[in-house]
Amino acid sequence: MSADLVIARPGLSSTLQDFGRFGYQRFGISGSGAMDVVAMRIANRLVGNAPGAAAIEMTMTGFSATVAGGDCLLAVAGAEMPVAINGRRAEGWRSFLLHDGDRIEIGAAAAGVYAYVAAAGGFAVAPTLGSQSTHSRSGIGGFEGRALRTGDRLPVVGASAGDECSLPADRRPRYDGPIRVVRGPQDDKFTPAGIATFLNSGYSITNRTDRMGAQLEGPAIEHADGFNIVSDGIVNGSIQVPGNGRPLVLLADRQTTGGYPKIATIIGADLPKIAQRRPGEAVRFVAVNVAEAVEAARERERALEAALDSIRRVAFAASDLSAERLLSVNLIAGVCSALD
Amino acid sequence: MIEGWAPPRLLDAGDGGLVVEFGDDVDEGVNMRVVALGSAIEALGLAGLKEVVPTYRSLLLVYDPLTLAPDRLRAEVGALQARASQREDNCAALGSSAVPERTDESRAIWRVPVLYGGEHGVDLDHVAALHDLSSDEAIALHSSAIYRVHMIGFAPGFAYLGGLPEALHTSRRADPRPRTPPRSVSIGGRQAAVSPPLEVPSGWRLLGQTPVRSYDPTRNGRPFLFEAGDRIRFEPISAREYERLCRAAEAGEIVAEREAAL
């Protein structure tokens, strides 16, 4: 039997996202998609979904919702947001089997920005142009083309809810360290001093940061010859430098073309890192070549696969952790079942 | 001897993007090469190629580097370019000024109806006055030209057009408007544009409004009308006709007519 998630408190900005909407950038459509695909894939594996099933992406603060109409296996992964099931505190990076009337509450992130809630079977919203990702600015995809609101009933695809699982703490992805970039495509529009400023300075994320892009604060980067170019295409991770010399990192919901020179591009493997960095936090860039960037992508894939393979069933359902239940069950059997 | 074209520059946009840059200015010949290469690379059906994005003067290819190796993509682009420039040399040797793009002559000319002036094009009278024209003369000029879609970008379905008659070249507004009416027909500098049915921010001069929805995600089988390389001609219409076509467009009709290609 299928269930609905009834939103009681939507959080700052909670949108459905999958891997993104591809093939339409030539028509002016942003790719959108999860800001942290690694966390989204882990959330999906925790409920037994395909890696690219749409999940709810939460921003800085999570949502609260009640399950209505049936059972529902939900997982939370990504930024460190506190989770409570029926008022009882629970860990993230794991899945929870909820029943009709159960409540999940997800709070403000202690670290990171984006966290994901995946539901076994996925969410039943019709794809737009081949994707369930929400692009709020153009009002397409996701739940009615917008962020979730109080009272929304988000239908979960009726699937047999599976076992609760968790990701071992030592397998959680790391988001610290410098951000690797490949120089260009328009690094020739900057002076050598400008490029040195970019690579050798500390920048910080400002609060003018969202799914479209991250505005950075720090030393101004010197252009070689003006700062207007004839508009061309922009990829996820392009770093534009407009006239004020401050880098602007363009992300999933970016506009598709732009007319400022792009000094460098963040490598694919490090996109989740920049996405999870909060306003006020530091950013340093380090240049790599394309071959090194591809090797980093391969390495990230290996690490993620190893993490996904380490996911195990948990011994006790979160909703069963009452004292009476603990006293009544055979603890040894529980431990064994966690290892099989 | 006709001078050959410099080969395009291949520029990396990280480990998932390749920019093929044919020039650094707005130029019809450059844009034709961009669109032609885009069609040719698409026809290869390369696994791992996620986006082919033609813009004014460069082609952006977005790819998954773990499926399509960067060197392989560069080699494919290089081979297609070698063939294209060979074809252009042959044309030049034959004294032909034929456009180098195979597909270009078969492309549609869209006839796009426009209600000019008034609340639908608040800058028309000002633009006409700037050029010592009557408003009717400005309309006649704007609707006499055949425009080429250089690229779609900035917002879903927003079409950047080349081919604006020189007598209408007009600098952009110093203070861009945070919202402009949906489906605006506008000009900026040497360019013209058609807005999608969205209230986009713009500093361009608004001449009119079309009932045509260049983008409609709910329209069956045809969410987008125009693409880079298409051509457009504007046709002045009355307020009554505008209302009628708006209703038809709301019901899912395209309302822009396709003329037979030249």
DSSP B171-239: PPPSS-BS---TTEEEEEBTEEEE--SS---B-SEEEEE-S--SB-TTSTT-SB---TT-EEEEEE--H
Which residues in chain B have Cβ-Cβ distances shorter than 8 Å to A27? 152, 156-157, 215, 223-224, 227
Query: Range of A13's domain?
Result: 4-173+310-339
* Domain shared by A220 and A282, yes or no: yes
C-alpha A263/C-alpha B52 separation (Å) is 22
Which residues in chain B have Cβ-Cβ distances shorter than 8 Å to A140? 156, 217
C-alpha A156/C-alpha A172 separation (Å) is 26
Provide the 10 A C-beta neighbour count for residue B67. Answer: 12
* Domain shared by A274 and A143, yes or no: no
Cβ–Cβ gap A231/B55 under 8 Å: yes
Bridge partners of residue A216, in order along the sequence: A205
Least confident of A69-78, A269-278, A319-328, B1-10: A319-328
* Domain shared by A331 and A210, yes or no: no
Is the CB of residue B69 less than 8 Å away from at least one CB of chain A? yes
Which residues in chain A have Cβ-Cβ distances shorter than 8 Å to B222? none
pLDDT digits (tens, 9 = 90+) for A101-154: 999 999 999 999 999 999 999 999 999 999 999 999 889 999 999 999 999 999
C-alpha B114/C-alpha B248 separation (Å) is 15
* Residue in B closest to A297 by C-alpha: B66
Domain assignment present for A304:
no
pLDDT of residue A332: 38
* Domain shared by A320 and A249, yes or no: no
pLDDT digits (tens, 9 = 90+) for B155-201: 999 999 999 999 999 998 888 899 999 999 999 998 999 999 999 99
Do B17 and B62 meet the contact criterion of CB atoms below 8 Å apart? yes
pLDDT exceeding 90 applies to what percent of chain B? 76
* Domain shared by A294 and A325, yes or no: no
Cβ–Cβ gap A22/B51 under 8 Å: yes
pLDDT of residue A279: 97
Asked whether the predicted pLDDT for residue A325 surpasses 60, the reply is no
* Domain shared by A269 and A206, yes or no: yes
Domain assignment present for A90:
yes
* Domain shared by A131 and A183, yes or no: no
Closest CA to B15 of A275, A305, A298, A247: A298
Which pTM was predicted? 0.91
Domain assignment present for A29:
yes
Structural domains for chain B: 9-93 (3.30.1360.40), 107-259 (2.40.100.10)
* Domain shared by A32 and A103, yes or no: yes
Cβ–Cβ gap A230/B53 under 8 Å: no
pLDDT digits (tens, 9 = 90+) for A41-53: 999 999 999 999 9
Do B36 and B102 meet the contact criterion of CB atoms below 8 Å apart? yes
pLDDT of residue B259: 82
**B96 pLDDT band (50/70/90 cuts)?**
low
Is the CB of residue B19 less than 8 Å away from at least one CB of chain A? yes
pLDDT exceeding 70 applies to what percent of chain A? 92
Domain assignment present for A204:
yes
* Domain shared by A62 and A148, yes or no: yes
Cβ–Cβ gap B14/A237 under 8 Å: yes
* Domain shared by A40 and A169, yes or no: yes
Q: For B12, which of A184, A231, A266 is closest by C-beta distance?
A: A184
- B125 contact partners, CB below 8 Å, separation of at least 6: B117, B135
pLDDT of residue B4: 56
Which residues in chain B have Cβ-Cβ distances shorter than 8 Å to A301? 66
* Domain shared by A214 and A257, yes or no: yes
Which residues in chain A have Cβ-Cβ distances shorter than 8 Å to B215? 27-28
Domain assignment present for A220:
yes
Do B234 and B146 meet the contact criterion of CB atoms below 8 Å apart? no
Cβ–Cβ gap B215/A28 under 8 Å: yes
* Domain shared by A124 and A251, yes or no: no
Provide the 10 A C-beta neighbour count for residue B178. Answer: 9
Asked whether the predicted pLDDT for residue A339 surpasses 50, the reply is no
C-alpha B89/C-alpha B111 separation (Å) is 34
pLDDT of residue B105: 52
Q: What does the pLDDT average to over B69-95?
A: 85
Q: For residue B170, what is the DSSP state? A: B
Cβ–Cβ gap A129/B13 under 8 Å: no
- Beta strand ranges found along B5-141 (DSSP E): 9-12, 17-21, 49-54, 58-63, 109-116
pLDDT of residue A162: 83
Q: How many domains does chain A have?
A: 2
Domain assignment present for A183:
yes
Cβ–Cβ gap A290/B154 under 8 Å: no
Domain assignment present for A120:
yes
- CATH value at residue A268: 2.40.100.10
pLDDT digits (tens, 9 = 90+) for A299-309: 999 999 999 99
Which comes out higher in pLDDT, residue A231 or A252? A252
Query: Which H helix or E strand runs over A179?
Result: strand A179-183
Rounded to two decimals, the ipTM of the complex is: 0.92
pLDDT of residue A160: 66
**Which of A24, A26, A125, A254 to probe by mutation at the B interface, max B CB count within 10 Å?**
A26
If you average pLDDT over every residue of chain B, what do you get? 91
Least confident of A155-164, A235-244, B7-16, B77-86: A155-164
Domain assignment present for A305:
no
* CA atoms A321, A323, A328, A330: torsion sign: positive
Cβ–Cβ gap B14/A301 under 8 Å: no
Cβ–Cβ gap A232/B50 under 8 Å: no
Residue with tokens 């050598």: A192
Whole-angstrom CA distances from A58 to A8, A39, A63, B246 are: 14, 12, 7, 38
Query: Please, what is the Cα angle at A114 between A113 and A115, to 5 degrees?
Result: 130
C-alpha A292/C-alpha B124 separation (Å) is 54
Asked whether the predicted pLDDT for residue B2 surpasses 50, the reply is no
